[in-house]
Amino acid sequence: MSRLLERISTCILEGDADKAARLVQKAIDEGMAPGDIMDNGLLVGMGEVGVRFKAGDMFVPEVLMSAEAMQAGTILLRPLLVASGARQAGKILLGTVKGDLHDIGKNLVGMMCEGSGFEIIDLGFNAEPEKFVEAIKQHQPQVVGMSAMLTTTMRAMGYTIKAIEEAGLRDQVKIMVGGAPVDADFAKRIGADGYGSNAPAGADLAKKFAGLA
């Protein structure tokens, strides 16, 4: 790996968005391939963030800063990757379910998945089951992710999956769920395909569903 790519990955780890953008632009100006900058710079840094977060060596505010630095570089690279014919990883539809106004965890998953090459369709928070159904019809994602941070809103995940089933769309998507009160047993009971215990785990699960891991 070149020294410049190492510096880019370090910027992601340190959560320095301004410096990440400057170094990514420098790499572009020097003629580096967009795919190399993404794979060997940005993604290396974000991968280390995931490892440290899982180990308890990084915390949510730090991961958010790293994700913002990742996004700053990705914005510069995305049009170049599209122009070069780089394959998109797929589409992921994300939303916090009806009745729940918490979205930090969902946003973290979205940023990490975007960094892995996914296109993110974000429904925001307090998303009703019908909103998920209509978005699946419109955007045709491969993966649907639902978040709930309250025990009182967990049930909305089951209602949303039931609405997707009743619309005849269940076989078209893989569904993953997450959030503080959610666990693997609950995910299985409501008919989800998988459960992510934290943002890196959710991103890893999305990649698995898309055949990238």
CB atoms within 10 A of CB 185: 8
**Looking at residue 1, what is its pLDDT?**
62
CATH number of the domain enclosing 96: 3.40.50.280
Look up the domain containing 195 and give its range: 90-209
Residues 36 and 63 in one domain: yes
CATH number of the domain that residue 29 is part of: 1.10.1240.10
Domain boundary among 83, 118, 143: 83
d(CA 97, CA 80): 34
Which domain-ending residue is among 31, 55, 83? Answer: 83
> Residue 55: enclosing H or E segment and its boundaries?
none
Residues 73, 100: one domain? no
Report the C-alpha gap between 1 and 3 in whole angstroms.
7
Same domain, 68 and 120: no
Residues 6+ apart with CB under 8 A from 98: 126, 127, 128, 129, 153, 156, 159, 160
Strands 143-147 and 194-196: unpaired
73 lies in the same domain as 154: no
Quick one: pLDDT at residue 87?
63
- Specify whether 98 is located in the same domain as 116: yes
Query: Can you tell me the distance from the alpha carbon of 15 to that of 32, in angstroms, rounded to the nearest whole number?
Result: 22
Q: Please, what is the Cα angle at 192 between 190 and 196, to 5 degrees?
A: 115
Answer yes or no: do 45 and 128 share one domain: no
Shared domain for 59 and 124, answered yes or no, is no
| Total domains present in the chain | 2
Considering the domain architecture, whether residues 16 and 46 belong to the same structural domain is answered as yes
Task: Answer yes or no: do 59 and 123 share one domain.
Answer: no
| Alpha-carbon gap, residue 16 to 117, rounded angstroms | 20
- Virtual CA dihedral for 127, 142, 13, 27, nearest 10 degrees? -120
Q: Which of 83, 107, 141 is the last residue of a domain?
A: 83
199 and 94 in a common domain: yes
pLDDT on residue 86: 64
pLDDT tens by residue, the chain, 213 residues = 699 999 999 999 999 999 999 999 999 999 999 889 988 999 899 888 888 988 889 988 898 899 889 889 988 988 888 777 666 778 999 999 999 999 888 988 888 887 777 889 999 999 999 999 999 999 999 999 999 999 999 999 999 999 999 999 999 999 999 998 999 999 999 999 999 988 888 988 999 998 876
Does one domain contain both 16 and 77?
Answer: yes
| 105 and 179 co-located in one domain | yes
The stretches of the chain forming alpha helices (DSSP H) are 3-14, 17-29, 34-37, 43-54, 60-83, 104-115, 129-139, 155-166, 184-189, 199-209
Of 187, 195, 190, which Cα lies nearest the Cα of 165?
A: 190
pLDDT of residue 38: 87
